[in-house]
Amino acid sequence: MRTILHVDMDQFYAAVEMRDRPELRGLPLVIGADPKGGRGRGVVSTASYEARKFGVRSALPVSTAYRLCPQAVFLPVDMEKYAAVSAEIQAVFLKATPLVEPLSLDEAFLDMTQSRLLMGDGRQAAARLKAEVFRATRLTCSVGVAPNKFLAKIASDLKKPDGLVVVEPGREREFLAPLPVARVWGVGPKTEALLKGMGIVQVGQLQDFPLGPLSQRLGSFGAELKELALGRDDRPVVPDQEAKSLGRETTFERDTAEAGTLRQTLAGLCEEVAGRLRAQALRAGQVTLKLRFEGFETHTRQRPLRPASSHGPELLEATLPMLREFLKGGRRVRLLGVAAGRLEGGEPREQMELFGQDSEKKNKVDLALDKVRARFGGGALTRASQMALRESEFQEASRRAGQAGLSMKPGTGSAGSSPAGLEKRPAPGRGGEP
């Protein structure tokens, strides 16, 4: 019999911020877009348990969150910091078992079947993991223990925060029977309404419902639901799932065609994506620019990166000409995003330094950025290129843009006055072309 754990960090983004800023503890905290006094755009990424009492939840429009809880503290997403903490958590998991299947930054499946001699039975292993995660990060997590993934994921959600729920082998049906049928994977609002019309409200009723009529109404999906309702799920934990892409996007509070704002935003997005790549020891062989105009018309463009890179200015160099091409018509932009694709493992820093002084300098700058941001947050330090392009980078980007039949004019500012091209984050500037 397998022993599967589902580990889910509690209010992850909010918990990281409260850990680093103790004065926020006990306050309703919302991580996401700036609410702008109820006029903001974008969505909530995470809400603390205190904010959830007011109806604030993930994916809620931030303007709605503000109306529900105007007294909440609203903070921007600091993805680089969260990715760094996530890497620490994954390291704890991998000490317990090599069979770790990450689902996101804050949750994962672990197959502990072959780790019983090292970690004990399921309950003991879960308790030890919870303690080790807290020791490493000062964050709590909730753990579900069960013979399969489906049951473990349901269990981890039942006693949050800081919960530990064990589904004993042989008691799967008993565990599931009283739960609402919406707990079964694949049961959304439409399917839930259909099942309710058949008299099925709880999982136990689904367990007892004849398969024939169920399949007549739901087709082959009926048999799948029946199997899950009975607690059957033989899917393995798949370790080392490689991400196909890493991305970051932002929605402007007002649609804008202002070149300086768009350029700085693009530079910031490139830095965030590059930081996430480095946190996971990855490099990108392709970069994608996503742009949504007013009216929700959305476009994407891609360019290869050769050699593959995790260096923010190189992502910016590739995406900047694409942004200029999009903006030739003078249309206002609602959303801007950058995604890194064709991911491959990053070279060890020592090996990259063999390629010369330029690579060594880039590595040192990146290392300095990552250390400062991991300690003080993503906004603590930024490249001067996020104020304006450095002249050398501008000239190179201009040359490439010229090859594409475009023209460029330099913006203001220089990185030359700050060591290694680093400078404290400025207020958003204006003027110039991207």
Rounded to 5 degrees, what are φ and ψ at 188?
-95, -175
Secondary structure (DSSP) of 393-422? HHHHHHHHHHHTT------S--STTSGGGE
Contact between 335 and 290 (Cβ < 8 Å): yes
pLDDT tens-digit profile of 269-298? 999 899 888 888 889 999 999 998 876 688
Q: Please give the pLDDT value at position 178.
A: 97
Question: Which of 60, 46, 51 lies closest to 13, judged by CA?
Answer: 46
162-176, 209-223, 299-313: which has the highest mean pLDDT?
Answer: 162-176
Q: pLDDT per residue over 131-181, tens digit each?
A: 999 999 999 999 999 999 999 999 999 999 999 999 999 999 999 999 999
Catalytic annotation, residues? 107
User: How would residue 14 be classed by pLDDT, with cut points 50, 70 and 90?
Assistant: very high
Q: Are strands 282-293 and 141-146 parallel, antiparallel or unpaired?
A: unpaired
Which domains occur in the chain, in start order? 4-12+80-168 (3.30.70.270), 19-78 (3.40.1170.60), 173-229 (1.10.150.20), 245-423 (3.30.1490.100)
Q: What backbone phi and psi angles, to 5 degrees, belong to 128?
A: -65, -40
Mean pLDDT of 382-403: 46
DSSP per-residue string spanning 173-219 = HHHHTTSBGGGSTT--HHHHHHHHHTT--BHHHHHHS-HHHHHHHHT
**Cβ count near 355 (within 10 Å):** 13
Higher pLDDT, 5 or 408: 5
Structure confidence by residue, pLDDT tens digits, 338-392 = 999 888 875 433 334 344 445 556 666 666 666 554 554 544 455 554 444 444 4
Task: Say how many Å lie between the first and final Cα of the chain, rounded.
Answer: 59
Please state, in angstroms and rounded to a whole number, the distance separating the CA atoms of residues 53 and 191.
28
Tokens of 26: 């006990």
